[in-house]
Amino acid sequence: MGRTIAILDIYGNARGALAGKLKAEVLRSAKFYSLDGKIEASIVNASLDELELLVVPVKESNMASLHKLLEQLKIPKEKIALFTEKNVEVDDFQTIEQYLDDKYASITEACRYESRIHKLMESIKSHADDTRVQPPVSTNEFIELYEKGRTIFCFLGFDQSSVKVLYGGFGKVEGTGAFFLNPWSNDRAKELEDMFECFNDYDPNYVPFFLVYARVYEVWRDIPQLLKLRFPRCKLALYYGDLISKHAVLPEEVRQAGFDYVFSFDAKDAKRNGIFWLQEPLSNLPNVSNAENEKYDVMFVGEAKDRLDALISTYEKMKEEGLKCAFYIFRVSDKDMKYSDEIKYNRWLDYSDILEIDRYSHCLLEIMQGGDSYSPTTRYSEAKLLGKKLITNCPALRESNDKNIIWFSDISEIDLDRIKEPYYEDGVDYRTMLSIEGMINSIIGTMADTDESSI
């Protein structure tokens, strides 16, 4: 490898644990540091000031106590590589050296990213305007400015077709804007640099409200600080588009990062976590017409998650009744692919492909994630805007009188006769309800009903 690594020998057998995994010359040149749990962490910190990379061979049974110890060490987490006898992280690499090479590369990239972000901050500071010296606006002041047309609502999301269909109305509606960042970019700093370059045309007479997709914040943790630095008067909100348990950031961390409001698409998840519920929009749906001749009675598109057994059972029930089904299930292992000649597994679909399947289907199937899920998913919104019936076990729709909703708690309860019934027009303006205007009105309503001191 041509470089020296540090090895923290917690249990006294690091050399033996790494023998055969690290080349002999690497082991000979490695710096070993003993720690029996009695030595103060400050001593270790003093020894590892110039650390490039710390390798820690550990026992799986001691992982919890180890993490507590590492929290005391003043070492960035990205510089620590943990190895156990059954280390999943290492299994993807032919050798530990290969893994460490990758680790070094990520550290180098992280340093380069931090340097670029620092320059971006300096550039923002130098981009002085009158708003720079003005204090943040209060909630009441923001609402007054909104009523006078002096605010702009801006969405920051992932550059994905599904996200753009949901939130793409931002930027098309007057008084709104949108930036879609590429999470797979090899140059994450440039994504932010390009976004802030667009802000140079910002009108200081308008106060922005930034709605940040939670997945974006997971990738770009600098965003709250950068936005507050560039727009001291702005309001900043984070939006969970999936269950909070599926995210890497929790509401308390989000609040501490400087977000003024935290929203979730799921009503019960919001209540459970002390945040606000906000209806997910479907604001940029292409103008697609339903096919004259439907090919499928029931369709499902989505990840297996914790519902694969339920999906397979539902498919079997539909098949037994002679119904035509189009099932596309993602993230399924080969051994779990039942009916693989009929069900489409692990075939990536662009959102336009999903809509095409929707067009040729009579009913859309929505099976909720187990446990915490409560509010309807995007399938509900698609059904309403495309004029499709919905088969669902969504708890929020249990008491619905909607003739187009076929609700069930157990698969055996699905009323198969209703699947063939036509779609009933109910006169509800779902396009407005699921629009960006509707979303903004809900945000303003939440702001008006909220005691600012309790946020």
Task: Tell whether pTM > 0.85.
Answer: no
- pLDDT averaged over every residue in the chain: 84
Q: Hey, which CATH number is domain 132-277, 3.40.1350, 3.40.50, 3.30.460, 3.30.70?
A: 3.40.50
Q: Is the pLDDT of residue 35 over 70?
A: no
Residues 102-127, buried b or exposed e (16+ Cβ, 10 A)? ebbeeeeeeeebeebbeebbeebeee
Query: Which residue type does 16 have?
Result: G
The rounded percent of the chain whose pLDDT value lies above 70 is 76
What tens digit of pLDDT does each residue of 419-440 get? Answer: 999 999 999 999 999 999 999 9
First to last CA, the chain: 51
What tens digit of pLDDT does each residue of 216-240 get? Answer: 999 999 999 999 989 999 999 999 9
Helix, strand, coil content of the chain in percent (nearest 5): 45, 20, 40
Computed from CA positions of residues 207, 212, 218, 219, in that sequence, does the dihedral angle turn out positive or negative? negative
Strands 80-83 and 261-264: unpaired
pLDDT at residue 39, rounded to an integer = 46
Instruction: Classify domain 296-429 at the CATH class level.
Output: alpha beta
Q: Is the pLDDT of residue 38 over 60?
A: no
Contact 223, 216 (CB under 8 A): yes
The rounded percent of the chain whose pLDDT value lies above 90 is 57
Q: Is the pLDDT of residue 91 over 50?
A: no
What tens digit of pLDDT does each residue of 351-375 get? Answer: 889 999 999 999 999 999 876 789 9
Calpha distance 262→238 (Å, rounded): 5
Top pLDDT among 204 and 299 is at 299
What tens digit of pLDDT does each residue of 116-147 get? Answer: 888 888 888 776 554 455 788 999 999 999 99
pLDDT at residue 60, rounded to an integer = 56
Task: List the beta bridge partners of residue 390.
Answer: 364, 405
pLDDT at residue 187, rounded to an integer = 87
pLDDT at residue 47, rounded to an integer = 56
What tens digit of pLDDT does each residue of 56-88 get? Answer: 666 655 666 666 666 666 677 667 777 665 554
Mean pLDDT highest for which of 10-14, 20-24, 289-293?
Answer: 289-293
pLDDT at residue 182, rounded to an integer = 93
pLDDT at residue 109, rounded to an integer = 74
Residue 193, φ and ψ in degrees, nearest 5 = -60, -45
Q: In this structure, what token pair is assigned to residue 316? A: 């079997």
What tens digit of pLDDT does each residue of 305-342 get? Answer: 889 999 999 999 999 999 999 999 999 999 999 999 99
CA neighbor of 446 nearest in space, from 214, 267, 257: 267
